[in-house]
Chains A and B, each alone.
Chain A
Amino acid sequence: MEQNISFRIDGIELLEYAIISPDKIIEPQTIFKFDINIEHRFNLENNHVFVIVAIHIFLRETGIKVGSAKISCIYKVEQLKNYVDETNQVSFPQDFIISLNSISLSTCRGVIFALFRGTFLHNAILPVVDPKSFQIATPSK
């Protein structure tokens, strides 16, 4: 069933960020590891979907954390309550979830670049992620 879900972006919020200077000098060729968590939260009253992306950046070699950022992309989805099932869970079509996650990740890529440019994390650009390869984790309270 082809559903065209009507939505738009309503806002971007930078919730947290941190930059942690390591002991060694960071070469431009440094490989960074990105731990990405995407949480979808919902406000039925305002038809808002919050896609909260939390990124932690590590040096791949040593595993030390060197940076982090938490960004919320706020979308307005028309008739959000239509997607809530009897167990009070939101169930969107897979394609729509992929769209939301992709748009949010790309937005974060930009925000992180703007945040960390000029620092040793200037080259720590968020890689392109295949949104289908995300694992669903148990939601945090």
Chain B
Amino acid sequence: MKQKNNNIISEILGSISPNEAKKIENKMLLAAKIDDAMKAKGWKKKDLMNAMGKKNPSEVTRWLSGTHNFTVDLLTEIGLALDTDFLNLETTSPKPIVFHIEIENQPAISPQHNLVNEIQKGYSYRKEMLLTRN
């Protein structure tokens, strides 16, 4: 019976469906992300308003409140204005890995034309081999 008093908070929190909980969380996180993007650009609410051609400052306040249910279009527009991707739709590739080395070549002992002779000799030798085999 004591349960009535303590834990009305836990009780209510526990009764929220996971669907509903996630919806609320996403709205809060999106608002935080927009605020971060504004801060990164050093923008105040009116800068964002101007960039998007909005006249009503309470619109931006609503976007940042953590209660707004954004449309894809609105998120796209805000993203363009703030140079940020709020939709994250393209899969990101893994990071590149880079290897590096410096090396010197060993100069050929004999001049170039001798090498060519050597190759040719090898070729003739093989030809003879083929002839004798048969």
Contact = CB atoms under 8 A, between A and B. Distances in A.
Does B bind A? yes
Interface of A: 28-45, 60, 84, 88-90, 101, 122-127, 129, 133-140
Nearest to A43: B93
Contact of B102 (A31, A34, A45, A89): A34
Chain B: interface size category: 20 to 34
16 contacts: A28-B108, A29-B107, A31-B107, A35-B100, A35-B102, A38-B99, A39-B97, A39-B98, A41-B93, A42-B94, A125-B105, A129-B103, A134-B101, A136-B97, A136-B99, A139-B95
A38 B104 CA distance: 17
Contacts, number: 96
Given A38-B98, A123-B108, A123-B112, A44 B93 contact: yes
10 A-B pairs with the lowest CB-CB distances in the bound complex, closest first: A134-B99, A38-B99, A137-B100, A137-B98, A29-B107, A40-B97, A139-B96, A90-B94, A127-B105, A41-B96
Nearest to B109: A29
Contacts of A36: 100-103
A32 B105 CA distance: 6
Interface of B: 91-108, 111-112
A8 to B, nearest CB: 20
Nearest to A83: B94
Contact of A44 (B94, B105, B107): B94
A135 B99 contact: yes
A139 B98 contact: yes
Contact of B96 (A30, A35, A129, A140): A140
Contacts of A29: 107-108
Contacts of A138: 98
B45 to A, nearest CB: 32
Contacts of A137: 98-100
A136 B95 CA distance: 13
User: Max chain A CB contacts within 10 Å: which of B93, B95, B101, B107?
Assistant: B101
B107 A39 contact: no
A37 B96 contact: no
Nearest to B105: A127
A125 B102 CA distance: 14
A32 B104 contact: yes
B105 A124 contact: yes
A124 B99 CA distance: 21
A97 B35 CA distance: 42
Contacts of B106: 31, 127
A93 to B, nearest CB: 14
Contacts of B107: 28-31, 123
